[in-house]
Structure formats: C-alpha cells, structure tokens
C-alpha cells in the first residue's frame, strides 16, 4: 500500500489507484466531466486538475496514479479558477437551450455549472451549427451539444466493438459523427444506446416517443395496453430516489393503470413463453443433431450485430422471438379473442431498459404476425419515468397493484432474464425438465450469474454433458464466437452447445435506456433485485407457470407447434 496525503488527510491506497479514486476514499469529491468509471481515463476535459507538491504543473486526477508520499491539494482558489475557465470555454461553444434539452435536470454540464455558480461566461458564445441525426428509430445524435468528452466513441469502439462513432474534423471544427460521415442508420450502429447512457450531456439520447403514447392514451377509439420488461422494475425507482435494485413491480403496475392503460401485462410472462419455445428448440436440436450451438436471440442489438458482423452464425440463432414481441402478438390474438376486442384497436406499449427495442419492433415482417404491428411503441425506462412525472403521479406513495394475470403472472425464470446469465438459467431450468421429465435438484444455477464478461459452465442432463457459455457487453462476444469458429475450422464439435449473448454490460439491467449513472456496482444491485424477485415467486420455472400452461392448452397447442411458429418465431438475414 502507498501512504499519501490529500488536503492534509492521510490515505493508504493500492498501487495503481488514481488520485481521483484515492480522493473518493477520504470523501473528497474532485469534479469530472469526461471521466466515467466504466471507461479508461481519457484526460480530455481538464476539470479534475489538482496540485501535487513538487510538480510544476497541475495534474489530471483521473489519469494520474497516486504515488507514495504524495501531498495533494484538490481545492484552492487557483485550482478552482482553472476549472472555471475550462467550464466557461465549454459553455462558450454549447447551446444555451437547457429548457428544451432532453437532458434538462440530468445533465452533468448543467450540474457543474450550477456547482461552480457560473453566472456569466467571459468568452464569446459561438456554437457550431450541426443538424441532429435522427436516422435511426433508436437514438438521436445531436453533435451541437457535444462537449468532446469522448465517452460515446470509447463505449462504441472498445466496449461495444462496433466503431460506429468517431471524431471528425480538426481544431474548433472537431465533432462527433458516425464513422466515414454517413448517417447513423447507414453506419454499423447496433442501436444498443450505450452511447446515450454514457453521454454526460444532451448530445445523444433515445428517440423520445412519449407523445405517441400520450396521444393513444387520450384517444377514446384506442384500447391501450402495456407491458414492463424484467430490468425496468429494479431500476425505475432510481428516478424517484430509491436505491438501485429496489423491486418496484407492483407500484409500476399501479402507475401504468393511472396513466390510463386498460390492461397492464408483464414482459416476464413473455419471457416464460420465450423459454418454452427456446428450450424446446434446444431439446430438438440436441436430440436430432441440429446445428450447434444454439444462440439466444432476445437482444436486438446483438442480433443486429450478428447480422452485420457475424453472419456465419445465423443458423445458430434461436428463431424464438424476444419476450416483448411474443407478448405483443399474444395480446393482439389470444387476449383480443378472449376479451372480444378488435385487435386493430389495441395499442401495445412495451417499457424496456433498451433503445434497440425501438428498432426491433419493425425490423421484419414477422413483427406484424398478428396482422398488425405487434408492438406499437417501445419506451425506455427513462421515458416512462418522465411520463409518470409529467402526469403528476406520486410514484413513491402509490399502493401496490397486480397486473392482468392472463398475460402477466410470471415465474422466477421470467424475471431473471434482465440480468446477464438469466436467460440461460431460465432455459436450463426448463430444458432439464423437458429432457428428463424432472426439475433440477436446485433450480439456482450459480455458474452463469455475475458480471464476469464470459462465463462458462457444464451441466449434466440425462448423462449428456451440456457445455454453456454466457457473454455480455459486446467486446466479450468475439472471444466466444472465435472458439466456435476455431473448432469449426478443425472439424471438431462445437466447444459449446448453448450460448447466451446480451449486448449491454450486465445484460438488460445495464441497458442503454436505463436511468443514467449506471456503474458495475449499480448493475450488480439491480441484478440482485431480480434474483430476490425470482426467489420470492411461487413458481421458479417457466413450464410451471399456470397461465403459460393454459395458453398452450387453449390457444397454441404445443411449444414449437405450427401455430407457435407462425406467431412466435422469426428469421435472421445477413
Ligand atoms: Fe431484456 Fe428481454 S430480458 S431483452 O434483456 O429477453 O430490453 O429487461 O425485456 O424482450 O423479458 C430488454 C430486459 C427484455 C425481451 C425479456
Ligand atoms: Fe455505438 Fe451502440 Fe451508440 Fe450505435 S447505439 S453508436 S452501436 S454505442
Ligand atoms: Fe437492449 Fe438488453 Fe440487448 Fe442491451 S442487452 S441492447 S438492453 S436487449
């Protein structure tokens, strides 16, 4: 350990700790703007400068390791003056339309300006006028607001391995843009929204579709229904002052009813349905020697990535649609029939932790399997929190309510979909039952849990070894795919039979549409909330969900039946 002093306070740190982290240890907050705990320090903005005794220059706390014996000063009038200067320079090129900005109230630049008490800027106000890029259904890029912190490009290039964003131009003409200056939609962007979740200001944000939902809720001719994704229930509370990971399923149902939805469903039910189809597909492939490995396909950013960058795996994809799509089509067929409602009047909104879901809902003809667009609008967790606030709903004091059971009651397996490893664990629970006729002795399948980028496990089912891999956060995917490719080249059997992939760090709990400020600590708390939900459910396995059993008995027949194929499956294309 190194011993040093920060503002006269002694502190001991591990070698390699930055001055910024050392200061946190003794409750000293050094302001930052370009720095994000998920990303390597880029030292672009210079707001975090500090003085170190004996050093002629001020040093950047985010990128400077704390050394033994250092005497560091983080705040004095001179340091504050330098930081103010940096801020004023940024503000001099930043539009002043905070009131109309999607990040109003959640902007890191706005917060810094308030903390530093900036009242006027000594530099001339000059904004580079650049039109926003609204070419994708998922995110909007507004380079005019960009503070050149580099977070989005780093996330996109190194964390997501996509390389859709980069800096173009030089000097004061530098701007963030899709690589090669095409539109985002023409770029390799997979719509994961991680850039929007990491941007400190309003330069990248989700396509806001709340007004479409307001209109539907106001229209007496429309029958609005809604569903919430697994990962929403453990994150929505962050917008209302709750600890990350607080399970707020039933308050969210209540809020949605008060917004005016006629029926409140739960994507977790759809997740149970996806598992019925996907586990059956897996058992068929295992028994009949089908294409291995089977790869999960419920993450639309991942399927977009695969179609663009790994088309050699298309035949490995599960054809089972993602849970919210399955629920959408069931609402406009099964539920509509049962309730005697004209499906053309049903307006289905899905509340997702995700921006890519906005793209998924029209990605192919199969997303119109009911004869109508199965999901009309997909909102992010962030959009839902704004909708609730704008409606004057006192979320914290809402009573708990239940959802509409027929497409709502879920098993524990359905809820863990929202965390990396959860889809695999849910699938294993049901696949084991399908193959052996018995549940696993312990349904908690720990080897696939946790935030490690690639998790591997082996499971014995009826004397057969099933080799599993779980990868999340796109930069980890190639490791797994390359192992399969190598085996293919050697003509050897696949090193895995079943692979789960989620594009976002931590899985959907860390989705690009979740409340701002996620770190691994917060992602882990959200995941723990889902595992607690799982443990508290009466049924832990999808095949035990009585409403799923009724749906098959009354409407679908068997998993992977002709009707299931028509309504619940899709295709992927290079
Ligand atoms: Fe997800 Fe899914 S888990 S994709 O990660 O399969 O977004 O939460 O809703 O559809 O269920 C996201 C989360 C979500 C789907 C499910
Ligand atoms: Fe890159 Fe994802 Fe942002 Fe697209 S949405 S630009 S892939 S980080
Ligand atoms: Fe969306 Fe989840 Fe995939 Fe992220 S991991 S892109 S939140 S589906």
Please give the pLDDT value at position 466. Answer: 96
> Is residue 498 domain-shared with residue 475, that is, in the same domain?
yes
> Which ligand sits nearest to residue 152's alpha carbon?
2
Mode of pairing for the β-strands spanning 49-52 and 59-60: antiparallel
Confidence of residue 150 (pLDDT cuts 50, 70, 90): very high
Mean pLDDT rounded to a whole number for the chain: 97
Domain edge (last residue) among 206, 221, 252 = 206
> Is residue 166 domain-shared with residue 197, that is, in the same domain?
yes
Tens digits of per-residue pLDDT, 408-465? Answer: 999 999 999 999 999 999 999 999 999 999 999 999 999 999 999 999 999 999 899 9
> Is residue 59 domain-shared with residue 36, that is, in the same domain?
yes
Q: pTM of the predicted model, to two decimals? A: 0.97
Report the number of distinct structural domains present in the chain. 3
Please give the pLDDT value at position 474. Answer: 97
> Is residue 14 domain-shared with residue 118, that is, in the same domain?
no
DSSP character for 542?
A: G
Average pLDDT value for residue range 304-331: 97
Is residue 574 in some structural domain? no
Residue 574 has pLDDT above 90, yes or no: no
Spatial CB neighbours of 562, under 8 Å, sequence gap ≥ 6: none
In the sheet that 223-228 helps form, which strands lie side by side, from edge to edge? 263-266, 223-228, 346-352, 377-380
Confidence of residue 208 (pLDDT cuts 50, 70, 90): very high
**Is 281 one of the annotated active-site residues of the chain?**
yes
What CATH number corresponds to the domain at position 415? 3.40.50.1780
The strand pairing partners of 59, in sequence order, are 50
Between the CA of 506 and the centroid of ligand 1 the distance, in Å, is 12
How much of the chain exceeds pLDDT 70, in percent? 100
> Is residue 55 domain-shared with residue 104, that is, in the same domain?
no
289-293, 340-344, 510-514, 548-552 — which is least confidently predicted?
289-293
* Contact of 94 with 147, CB cutoff 8 Å: yes
Please give the pLDDT value at position 243. Answer: 98
Spatial CB neighbours of 166, under 8 Å, sequence gap ≥ 6: 153, 157, 176, 177, 178, 179
Which range marks the domain in which residue 13 is found? 2-75
Tens digits of per-residue pLDDT, 50-106? Answer: 999 999 999 999 999 999 999 999 999 999 999 999 999 999 999 999 999 999 999
Between the CA of 17 and the centroid of ligand 1 the distance, in Å, is 36
Average pLDDT value for residue range 350-367: 98
Please give the pLDDT value at position 172. Answer: 87
**Is 298 one of the annotated active-site residues of the chain?**
yes
Ligand 2 site-directed mutation target among 38, 133, 136, 139, most atoms within 8 Å of CB: 139
Closest ligand 1 atom to Cα of 357: 7
- Of 195, 298, 403, 541, the catalytic one is 298
- Taking alpha carbons only, the member of 307, 316, 315, 572 closest to residue 469 is 316
Provide ipTM, 2 decimals.
0.93
> Is residue 51 domain-shared with residue 187, that is, in the same domain?
no
Tens digits of per-residue pLDDT, 168-177? Answer: 999 989 999 9
Tens digits of per-residue pLDDT, 1-58? Answer: 999 999 999 999 999 999 999 999 999 999 999 999 999 999 999 999 999 999 999 9
Residue 363 has pLDDT above 90, yes or no: yes
What tokens were used for 119?
């009242």
> Is residue 111 domain-shared with residue 126, that is, in the same domain?
yes
Domain edge (last residue) among 75, 108, 132 = 75
> Is residue 282 domain-shared with residue 382, that is, in the same domain?
yes
Confidence of residue 553 (pLDDT cuts 50, 70, 90): very high
> Is residue 471 domain-shared with residue 399, that is, in the same domain?
yes
């Amino acid at each position: 350990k190194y011993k040093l002093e920060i503002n006269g306070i002694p502190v001991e740190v591990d070698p390699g700790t930055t001055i910024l982290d050392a200061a946190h240890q003794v409750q000293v907050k050094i302001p930052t703007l370009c720095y994000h705990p998920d990303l390597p320090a880029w030292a672009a903005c210079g707001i975090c400068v500090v003085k170190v005794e004996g050093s002629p220059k001020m040093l950047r706390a985010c990128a400077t390791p704390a050394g033994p014996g250092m005497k560091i000063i983080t705040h004095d009038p001179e340091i504050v003056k330098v930081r103010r200067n940096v801020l004023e320079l940024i503000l001099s090129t930043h539009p002043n339309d905070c009131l109309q900005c999607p990040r109003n109230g959640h902007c890191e630049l706005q917060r810094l300006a308030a903390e530093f008490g900036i009242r006027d800027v000594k530099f001339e106000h000059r904004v580079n006028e650049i039109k926003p890029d609204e070419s994708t259904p998922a995110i909007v890029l507004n380079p005019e607001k960009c503070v050149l912190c580099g977070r989005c490009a780093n996330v996109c290039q190194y964390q997501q391995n996509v390389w859709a964003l980069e800096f173009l131009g030089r000097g004061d003409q530098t701007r963030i843009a899709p690589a090669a200056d095409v539109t985002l939609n023409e770029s390799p962007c997979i719509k994961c929204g991680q850039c929007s979740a990491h941007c400190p200001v309003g330069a990248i944000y989700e396509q806001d579709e709340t007004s479409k939902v307001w209109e539907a809720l106001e229209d007496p001719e429309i029958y609005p229904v809604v569903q919430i994704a697994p990962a929403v229930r453990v994150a929505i509370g962050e917008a209302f002052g709750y600890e990350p990971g607080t399970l707020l399923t039933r308050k969210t149902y209540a809020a949605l009813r008060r917004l005016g939805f006629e029926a409140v469903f739960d994507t977790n039910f759809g997740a149970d349905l996806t598992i019925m189809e996907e586990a059956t597909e897996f058992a068929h492939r295992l028994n009949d020697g089908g294409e291995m490995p089977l790869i999960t396909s419920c993450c639309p950013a991942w399927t977009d990535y695969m179609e663009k960058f790994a088309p050699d795996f298309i035949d490995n994809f599960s054809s089972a649609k993602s849970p919210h799509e399955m629920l959408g089509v069931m609402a406009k067929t099964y539920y509509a029939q049962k309730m005697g409602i004209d499906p053309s009047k049903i307006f289905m909104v899905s509340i997702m932790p995700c921006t890519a879901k906005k793209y998924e809902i029209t990605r192919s003809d199969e997303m119109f399997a009911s004869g109508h667009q199965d999901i009309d609008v997909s909102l992010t967790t962030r959009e839902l929190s704004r909708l609730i606030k704008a409606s004057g709903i006192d979320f914290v004091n809402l009573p708990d309510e239940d959802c509409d059971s027929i497409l709502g009651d879920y098993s524990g397996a359905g809820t863990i979909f929202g965390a990396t490893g959860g889809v695999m664990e849910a699938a294993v629970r049901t696949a084991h039952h399908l193959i052996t006729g018995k549940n696993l002795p312990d349904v908690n399948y720990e080897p696939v849990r946790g935030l490690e980028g690639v998790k591997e496990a082996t499971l014995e089912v009826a004397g057969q070894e099933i080799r599993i891999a779980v990868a999340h956060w796109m930069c980890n995917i190639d490791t797994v795919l390359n192992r399969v490719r190598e085996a293919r080249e050697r003509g050897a059997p696949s090193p895995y039979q079943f692979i789960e992939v989620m594009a976002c760090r931590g899985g959907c709990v860390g989705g690009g549409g979740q409340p701002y400020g996620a770190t691994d600590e917060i992602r882990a708390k959200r995941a723990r909330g889902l595992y607690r939900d799982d443990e508290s459910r009466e049924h832990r396995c999808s095949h035990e969900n009585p409403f799923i059993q009724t749906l098959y008995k009354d409407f679908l027949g068997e998993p992977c039946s002709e009707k299931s194929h028509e309504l619940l499956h899709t295709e992927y294309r290079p």
